[in-house]
Amino acid sequence: MKSSLTAHVAIIGAGPYGLAAAAHLRALGVETCIFGRVMEFWQNQMPHGMLLRSSWEASHIADPDRRLTLDRYQTLQNVPLSKPIPLDGFIDYGRWFQQRVAPDLDKRRVKRLEHTGEGFRLSLEDGECVRAARVVVATGIAPFAHRPPPFDALPPALVSHTSEHRDLRRLGSGPVVIVGGGQSALESAALLAEADADVEVIVRKSDVHWLDQKLAWLKSEANPVRRLFYPPTDVGPPGLNWIVATPGLFRRLPFPLQEKVAYRSIRPAGAGWLLPRVGGVRITTGCAVISASSGGERVKLKLDDGTDRRVHHVLLATGYRVDVALYDFLAPELLKAVRRVDGYPLLGPGFESSLPGLHFLGAPAARSFGPVSRFVSGTPYTARALTRRIAGKSERKLEPILMRPATAFAIGSGRAASHVNAAEYLRKR
C-alpha cells in the first residue's frame, strides 16, 4: 500500500451531487478532495438522444453563488441548449461545472471505504490510501437497477435494464417489449420506434400518467402566478410540490404521510412532450408479466391477462431500488454501523448517517429528506445543509455567506486560492 494522503472531507462521486457538495465546501475553505469520473452515470448509462424530463430551472447544479447555471454556461460557452435539455448538452454542462469547482478531480476509483478510530480510510484502485475526517458518498444509483423476479434467470442478451444501454439502436429492429410506465419506458420506446424497431410497452397500471396536460397553463412561463403553484424544484403536483421542495418540512411529517406524499410526487409518468413521439407505439395497459422464459433467441412472456408474447428482447424500465449495501466499496464493518430501513440509510442534519462523519447524498437520502433528493433540483438544499453541518455554521449565519458575490471565494481558480480567499473572508467576519 502506498503512502497515505489526508483530507478533512473526501467526496466519492462526481455527478451533480458530488460536484455541488465540492462547490459549497470549498467556497468556505473546507479542505476537500473529490474522487470519481465526472458525470459518469449520465455518460455511460443513459441513452444517446435522451431529453431531460426536468425543467430548465430544475436542472441547474447548485453552486453557492448561483453563478454556474445553465444560463451562464450557454452564455460563456456560446452553446445554445434546446428545451427540453438534451442529455449530451447536460453532460457537457456538468463537465464545465466541474472544471470550475473541482479542476483537481481525482479520477481514481475508491475500492474500499473503512472506518478507523480516527476517521475514515479510502483505499484507491492503484493502492494508494487516503485518510479523511469525513466522507460524503455521492455515487448515484447505478448499483440499484431493479430487475423483477420473472426475469432473474434470463441472460443479458435477452433481458436488460435501461441503465445498461448508451445506444438503444444496438437492440436491433425488434420485436422489443419494454416493461414499465414511466419516463424511461416511454422515452426508450420513442427512441426505438424512431430507429424503426417494433416496440410494445407493457404497463401494469390501468393507464399512462402524462404530465402537464390538464393544467399546462398553470406551468406556463406566461402565467404571472406560476410560482405560487410550482417551486423551482419541479417535483410533485401542485400543493405537494412545495412540501417536497422543503426537505426540512418533509422529514418532520409522520412516516405514513411521507410515503403517501413521496409516491404521489414521483409516481411513474411521462412528459407531455413525448406524446407525439409515441403515437405509433403499441402501449398495453393494465397488464403485468407473470413469467418469462427463453426460447432459443427469443423470450416468451406470459401476461396476467392470459396473453403471451414472443420477442427478440425485453427492456426493463423498472426503475431503481435503493440499498446502500450494494455499494461494493463500503466495508462490511462500516455498513453494520449505519442504521438502515429498507436499504436506505437513516440520516440526520447535514445528511449525516448514524456513523458520525459519514454522509449520503442523492437517492439514498430520499427516505429521510424526501423525493427531491432523487433529482438535480435537490442539490441546492442538500449542498447547503451538508456545508452547514461540516462547517459548523448555523443556517442563519451561513446563508448570507453563501449569497456573497462569486469574487469573494474565487471558485474555479484552484483549490488553494479558494481556500485562502474563503478563510480570509471568514476571519474578517
Please compute the mean of the pLDDT values over residues 289-312 and round it to a whole number.
94
- Tell whether the model's pLDDT for residue 418 goes beyond 60: no
pLDDT of residue 117: 83
pLDDT of residue 425: 27
Helix (H, G, I), strand (E, B) or coil at 259: helix
Please compute the mean of the pLDDT values over residues 154-167 and round it to a whole number.
95
What's the pLDDT tens digit per position in 198-240? 999 999 999 999 987 666 656 666 767 667 778 999 999 988 9
- Tell whether the model's pLDDT for residue 355 goes beyond 50: yes
Which domains are present in the chain? 4-143+321-428 (3.50.50.60), 146-209+268-316 (3.50.50.60), 216-266 (no CATH)
pTM of this structure: 0.89
Estimate the crossing angle of helix 70-77 against helix 87-101, to 10 degrees. Answer: 90
Alpha helices in 78-182 (DSSP H): 87-101
Cell, residue 177: 417489449
pLDDT of residue 225: 67
What's the pLDDT tens digit per position in 117-150? 889 999 999 999 999 999 999 999 999 999 999 9
- Tell whether the model's pLDDT for residue 103 goes beyond 80: yes
- CA pair distance 2, 96, nearest whole angstrom: 32
Residue whose grid cell is 448561483: 66
Biggest distance spanned by C-alpha atoms of the chain: 74
Cell, residue 315: 427492456
- Tell whether the model's pLDDT for residue 100 goes beyond 60: yes
Question: Is 147 within 8 Å of 158 (Cβ atoms)?
Answer: no
pLDDT of residue 215: 64
Question: Is 334 within 8 Å of 357 (Cβ atoms)?
Answer: no
